Amino acid sequence: MASSGTFIDDGAFKTPKNARVKSCVSSGGTPVTIPASPFMKKLGCGTGVNVYLMNRMGKLNGSPWAVKKINTKCATKQLAVYQKRLNEEAEVLKGIDHPNIVGFRAFTTAKDGSKCLAMEYGGEQSLNDLIEKRKEDGLKAFPAANIEKVALHVARGLQYLHSEKKLLHGDMKSCNVVIMGDFETVKICDVGVSLQLDENMRVSDPKAEYIGTEPWKPKEALEEEGQITDKADIFAYGLTLWEMMTLAMPHLEMLDDDDDEEEVDDDSMEEEGFDEDAYYQKLGTRPVLDFEALGSSYQRTVELFYLCTNEDPKMRPSAAQVVQALESNAQLDKTSSEVIVID
């Protein structure tokens, strides 16, 4: 987009000095400004929203923020829904403070009337981005150590949400995990469809709708009278680990069958080869995993995947139990790697 502004090169993207901005107040009460969308780097998009990288330059030259902004091209009826959802996400995020969950920074309304939620920048790449890149590079499963690190950090975030905040994330998947650097930090994002839990870890409002994303939904979320508990997140968490081991999307692995075939133009692709009935029959079940192809170093991750994806939610571990097991494993690894020298 053309602009008469003077550009400052910050090494990642360029921002015009005189870009029109909207003032708001951060969580700490400090006035901040949110640049117009064309002057921020787009990180990704979701249903009804776009996410941008906002570099904060000025006196404090603070750390960058991720800004989630309503897509104003949405239909009027949908726009109201997305604005309500983003407002609810901002309210939820304000009360969250955990190193494995992206933090709240500011909430305001842009000049075009769209809502803007500024959050901690947890990393330019989602776990899903890394999965796709690894697949494009012709690689196989992530190293077991990387998967176990993601498993532990995400489980810690879920334990905090479930036990301390009494919240169900409601949409666990690789897209909602952001990674900084070489797995230096791992954070859960997108709490926009979270649901309140009661003391028994059940969704407290009987009218509340579990949104989720279809391939990651547990069986109870697909049943009309299914009881949603914290274990719904655990099922989706297990499938997130499966994604890292298979580099595929749950129950849609059949779409990768033609990878070795002659390249076909996307516009010519048809749905005729997709078995919709088989797909819907698989939803809520544990997808196939070739353990032998992975090797023995993945044994603990495979066992965790099997436990978390049990169709009976009562048979799945809680996030706290997962954390305890993974921390014990990490401690055992540390102890066994120590070299004892005897004089």
Contacts of 6 (CB under 8 A, 6+ apart): 16, 17, 18
pLDDT above 90: percentage of residues in the chain: 53
Q: Active-site residue 233, yes or no?
A: no
Per-residue confidence (pLDDT) for residue 60, from 0 to 100: 53
Encoded tokens for 91:
């309210």
CA distance 149 to 247: 17
- What are the residues facing 179 on neighbouring strands? 125, 186
In one-letter notation, the amino acid at residue 80 is A
Q: Which of 112, 171, 230, 290 is catalytic?
A: 171
Tokens describing residue 285: 């079940």
pLDDT band at 255 (very low <50, low <70, confident <90, very high): low
Report how far apart, in Å, the C-alpha atoms of 228 and of each of 154, 169, 220 are: 20, 12, 7
Q: For residue 225, what pLDDT is reported? A: 82
Q: What pTM was computed for the model? A: 0.81
Indicate if the pLDDT at residue 293 is higher than 90.
yes
Task: Report whether 70 contacts 81 (CB < 8 A).
Answer: no
> pLDDT tens digit string along 145-194?
999 999 999 999 999 999 999 999 999 999 999 999 999 999 999 898 99
At residue 31 the predicted structure's pLDDT band, cuts being 50, 70 and 90, is: low
**Which of 14-28, 96-110, 328-342: highest mean pLDDT?**
96-110
pLDDT in tens, 66-86: 888 877 676 566 777 888 888
Q: State how far the Cα of 336 lies from the Cα of 332, in Å rounded to an integer.
A: 6
